[in-house]
Amino acid sequence: MKNPEKFPETHAEEGTPMATHPVEKEKLDNLVPMPGLTDLTAMSDLTPEMAEGLLELAAKVKARPADFRTALAGRQIVLFFEKPSFRTRLTFESGIYSLGGHAMFVDQLTSRIGEREPVSDMAHNLERWVDALVLRTFAHSTVTELAKFASIPVINALSDHEHPCQALADFLTLREKFGDLKKVHLAYVGDGNNVAHSLMLGAALFGSRITVGTPKGYEPKAEVLNAALEIAKQTGAVIEVTNDPVAAVTGADAVYTDVWASMGQEAEIAERARIFNDFRVTPELMAHAGAEAVFMHCLPAHRGEEVEAAVIDAETSVVFDQAENRLHIQKAILLELLGGAARRLPVRSFHV
């Protein structure tokens, strides 16, 4: 566990008081990191109160971006990506710069994190140079191991197990469209993958109803389902899994899908196309959802495969709202983890 102790507002490099625009100082003083939140490696790092707080802050950042333009002044955030990226990289870099921070991108497409030197060694170097790490990786263990050893915040920008930034952006979008998330029924059809995992845990945290429909053998992991059901006991959420796509979407307020083969599963594309054919989101399938139902997708989408063009390009599609909200929720995550001033946790000894 990272040391949650708060330290004086200083520049990471100089140890001098952080200069803040006088008009913004009062606003930024309220940006105290959430107690107990030291990383965002998975949705399970959040409590229902933390998750709600992130949506509230994201809404404020979206409505008044100028109020936060110096919130991360002097902060250095490094992005390590093992997978190609369009939305994730640009929304993080744009968000960091718009908050006054500096983003550095490290391309790991040709070599995985930990191949050249132990992850623990990387963590102990990075915690001495920068203020936070953003990771887009294949193995979820890479994210958790860096979080274990680094004394600075680690953010999961996608792993094979979860996609928490995407799910939080999705629930921000649902709240904008429908209001009270406790009254929202989200249907997810397709592969029980990392996005499905984070959506299930998100629904549990926000007290929503989610029905996940997948082919047999492609359900979400049992450990994720059990974790979501456990959280649901506190929030009143309803978590359901079925192998019937029509049953999954019936009466839903939103119908969500993702690609059938994720990065790293290219060899399975043909087989998955056959297995998932009945789970394609078509106008006919959408007709079983609620009268005001919207369509959701984390993008990129393959028209004619997991979704028909007539659905994703319809007026009821909110895919670009979701993409926009990636920017705002990630800014909120950075603000909550780093606070409104240049706080830095003590450097961890590699002997610990």
pLDDT of residue 254: 99
238 pLDDT band (50/70/90 cuts)? very high
33 pLDDT band (50/70/90 cuts)? low
Residues 236-262: what's their mean pLDDT? 96
Phi-psi region of 207 (alpha: psi -120 to 50; beta: other; left: phi over 0): left
175 catalytic per annotation? no
Strands (E), 236-293: 238-242, 254-257
pLDDT of residue 112: 84
Please check whether residue 135 is in contact with residue 156, taking contact to mean a CB–CB distance below 8 angstroms: yes
pLDDT of residue 267: 81
Cα–Cα distance, 153 to 321 (Å, whole number) = 27
CATH of 165-324, one of 1.20.1250.20, 3.90.1150.10, 3.30.70.20, 3.40.50.1370: 3.40.50.1370
pLDDT of residue 119: 92
Phi-psi region of 307 (alpha: psi -120 to 50; beta: other; left: phi over 0): beta
Catalytically annotated residue among 258, 297, 322, 343: 258
Question: 307 pairs with which residues across the strands?
Answer: 281, 303
Catalytically annotated residue among 76, 108, 166, 330: 166
Fold of 22-162+326-338: Rossmann fold (3.40.50)
Cα dihedral 92/93/96/98 (nearest 10): -110
User: By mean pLDDT, which of 8-12, 271-275, 276-280 is the weakest?
Assistant: 8-12
Burial of 30 (C-beta count, 10 Å sphere; 0-12/13-18/19+) = exposed
- Residue 318, CA distances (Å) to 60, 99, 256, 314 in order: 20, 26, 10, 9
pLDDT of residue 290: 98
pLDDT of residue 145: 97
343 pLDDT band (50/70/90 cuts)? very low
Residue 166 corresponds to which tokens in the numbers above? 């995407």
326 catalytic per annotation? yes
Share of the chain above pLDDT 70, in %: 86
Tens of pLDDT along 46-98?
Answer: 999 999 999 999 999 999 999 999 999 999 999 999 999 999 999 999 999 99
Please check whether residue 45 is in contact with residue 39, taking contact to mean a CB–CB distance below 8 angstroms: yes
**Can you give the pTM of this predicted structure?**
0.88
Catalytically annotated residue among 140, 175, 326, 348: 326
163 catalytic per annotation? yes
Res 340 pLDDT > 70? no
Tens of pLDDT along 281-329?
Answer: 999 999 999 999 999 999 999 999 999 999 999 999 999 999 999 999 9
pLDDT of residue 39: 97
322 catalytic per annotation? no
Residues 241-250: what's their mean pLDDT? 98
Residues 157-179: what's their mean pLDDT? 98
Count of CB atoms situated within 10 Å of the CB of 352: 6
Catalytically annotated residue among 75, 87, 89, 136: 136
Same fold, 22-162+326-338 and 165-324: yes
- Arithmetic mean of pLDDT over the chain: 89
Break the chain into its structural domains and give their ranges: 22-162+326-338, 165-324
pLDDT of residue 269: 85
User: Which of 279, 351, 277, 285 shows the shortest CA–CA distance to 316?
Assistant: 285
